[in-house]
């Protein structure tokens, strides 16, 4: 498990083999998201296992942690081992801390 503050540190040095996966809905993602994050809704992640398998690290987050945990479980059942879940906070914390966001 990773904390949102740790994700902010990782975001600064994100390598090509790492991705931030936002599992909120598309409307929530468009409202504000971590710069460079990809968006796959938590109930759709099982359709993207092959794509997510190509990364060394996949940081999973949502608004507050619940959907990230659900997505993590689904991806673990599919055999992925490259997962880092932020399940105790999420985008609300990111915004409150004043970390950078993208919109749209």
Query: 53: domain CATH number?
Result: 3.40.250.10
- Domain-located, residue 57: yes
pLDDT at residue 4, as a whole number = 86
Q: Are 69 and 83 in contact (CB under 8 A)?
A: no
Q: What is the pTM of this model?
A: 0.95
Q: What is the block-wise mean pLDDT of the chain (104 residues), using blocks of 10 residues?
A: 87 94 98 97 97 97 95 97 93 94 95
In a domain, 48, yes or no: yes
Q: Where are any strands of DSSP class E within the chain?
A: 18-22, 38-39, 57-61, 83-85
The answer to whether residue 104 is domain-embedded is no
Task: Judge contact between 39 and 67, C-beta under 8 A.
Answer: no
| Residue of 47, 44, 55, 51 whose CA lies nearest to 83 | 55
Q: How far is CA 76 from CA 5, 18, 34, 46, in A?
A: 23, 17, 23, 10
């Amino acid at each position: 498990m990773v904390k949102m503050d740790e994700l902010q540190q990782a975001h600064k040095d994100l390598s090509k083999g790492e991705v931030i996966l936002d599992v909120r809905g598309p409307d929530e993602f468009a409202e504000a998201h971590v710069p460079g994050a990809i968006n796959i809704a938590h109930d759709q992640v099982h359709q993207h296992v092959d794509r997510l398998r190509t990364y060394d690290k996949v940081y999973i987050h949502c608004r507050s942690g619940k959907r990230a945990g659900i997505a993590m479980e689904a991806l673990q059942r599919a055999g992925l081992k490259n997962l880092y879940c932020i399940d105790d906070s999420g985008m609300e914390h990111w915004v409150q801390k004043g970390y950078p966001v993208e919109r749209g």
